[in-house]
Chain A
Amino acid sequence: MSTIEIQDGPPTRAEVCAVAVAEAFRGDGERLCNPIGTIPMVGGRLAREAFEPDLVMTDGFGGFAANPLPPGADPSGAVVEAWNPYPQMFTVLWNGKRHVMMGATQVDRWGNQNIACIGDWHQPRSQLLGFRGAPGNTINHTTSYWVPNHNPKVFVEAVDVVCGVGYDRARELGPVASRFHEIRRVVSNLGVFDFETPDNTMRLRSVHPGVTVEEIVDATGFELVIPTDVPESRLPTDEELRLMREVIDPRGLREKEVPNP
């Protein structure tokens, strides 16, 4: 991979993904934008620099950084606007002023997410992270998901273990218990998905340039809601491209997470 070429050429798939991530945080205003993963971090910082200036973001080391720290950068370069160690993070989380974008080893049509393990939880075939923060996140504040490698093993008919609460489970809990629940978006390397359907099942919101609807259908293990006209995910503006390439991710780490097709 030639960094120079990427830095000068037309928008890459990774950059389209980062813009789609940024769009997930549009309208959030003054709350903690907490994306996990390289492209989510680039996208979150892009949202703040380009169109959502009141967002609060972490430096990944116990502080909120006012400046756009590149992913993987030493936190000593952070302009810390507030101290937010882990115990305090849970207070922020339970208080609800947070929108997290997590990974998903599996996700289903309702937005149920699994990061705990594959197989039977009691003796898993493959132990992963455990429930980690997913139960608390999804029941307390807005959550989105990022999938760098869209395939039928990730987008499944039913997840092995529900860690993050989807819309069917939220509905069963009733309006009081689920009043803070929102699964905003799922962004993958192929397209963007939401739950803005009458029964909150997953809908194809846009396809990334160069991807067909058929490719996405083939890579998805359940039936998506597909509108008659599916728009293309928008391209970065010139200014957004400059921000990503020169300020937010000058080392081009985003291109390693999603290679340009």
Chain B
Amino acid sequence: MAIPDKRTTEAEVVSRLRDGMTIGIGGWGSRRKPMSLVRELLRSDLKDLTVVSYGGPDIGLLCRAGKVKRAVYGFVSLDSIPLEPHFRNARQNGTVEATELDEGMLLLGLQAAAWRVPFLPCRAGMGTDLLRVMPQFEMVRSPYPGPDGGEGEELVAVPAIELDVAFIHMNRADQGGNGQFLNQDLYMDDLMAMAAKECFMSTEQIIPTEDFPKYGSFHTQRISRLMTTGVIERPGAAHFTECPPDYARDEAFQKEYAATAKSDEAWDAFKAKYLDVTEDEYQKLVGVAS
């Protein structure tokens, strides 16, 4: 059995990135986010990033640390804390540019990039202010007759959202970059992976390929190595977001994080304690993986 060895580290991955890149981040809100890769981004000197995400603390942290030029999102939420306070500050202070999409439009933009077509049509956005405040979105007329037999329907043309790199987090993976999710929802992680030139996947545990069935049915093996460039074994990587069945969201830590949006002093203390340290030190401090 020949399985390639794509094992790598967060530091190696982030050292390949350049200022101004477009980075897609998998997960959903404060759920199964590749946070160890996000933390490595925070430790780097990278800047002017475009971040594409069904956003949670990934967008909040990267905005607060001044890494983000533009955020592309369907929403930004911490789930148990509905509004992401650091992201709110960034929007209200005008320090981040926004492409604020309907959730379904974001799916279609990623799908279009994954399929290598320039756009996909949809109704979402028609009649709303989304098209007024973001004039970059164009309409497209169907070449086929409309439902009344007349002129073809006019629809929103959602442009492909091409990513330089995608980060996703899976419960289990093998060294070849095949990945398995064990919670209820893959979210758009497969689309993120395929919309990107390169995709790096962190995982709770690297297992032998033949062991995937021990953890879930083959329907859970939704990330194939065709989609991934590298795999990082990092138990606790998704902390403080949830990663069931391996661990729940660290609600106490999330509250502590959210509270740091109140003052620069609070953020500086949080950053010094949790972010200006190595991932190993972070994991020891928060005690998820032990």
Contact = CB atoms under 8 A, between A and B. Distances in A.
Interface stretch (A120-128, A223-231, A234-242): A120-128
B92 A93 contact: no
Contact of B88 (A127, A173, A176, A180): A127
**Interface hub of A87, A116, A169, A177 (most chain B Cβ within 10 A):** A87
B128 A169 contact: yes
**Interface hub of B88, B91, B105 (most chain A Cβ within 10 A):** B91
Interface string B217-232: 0000000000000000
B102 A116 contact: no
A140 interface: yes
Interface string A90-128: 100110000000000000000000001100011111111
Interface stretch (B72-80, B195-203, B250-258): B72-80
Contact of A130 (B100, B148, B184): B100
**Interface hub of B83, B102, B107 (most chain A Cβ within 10 A):** B102
A121 B132 CA distance: 10
A89 B215 CA distance: 25
Interface stretch (B117-125, B233-241, B265-273): B117-125
Interface in B36-61: none
**Chain B binding surface, main DSSP class:** loop
B133 interface: yes
B138 interface: no
A212 to B, nearest CB: 33
A125 B122 CA distance: 30
A32 to B, nearest CB: 15
**Chain A binding surface, main DSSP class:** loop
B124 A127 contact: no
A177 B154 contact: yes
A178 interface: yes
Interface of B: 28, 73-77, 82-83, 87-88, 91-94, 100-105, 107, 122-130, 133, 146-148, 150, 153-154, 183-188, 191
Shortest beta-carbon contacts, A-B, top 10? A62-B184, A136-B124, A127-B91, A165-B127, A169-B127, A85-B185, A135-B102, A162-B129, A136-B104, A123-B94
Interface of A: 61-63, 75, 83, 85-87, 90, 93-94, 116-117, 121-136, 138-140, 161-165, 169-170, 172-173, 175-181
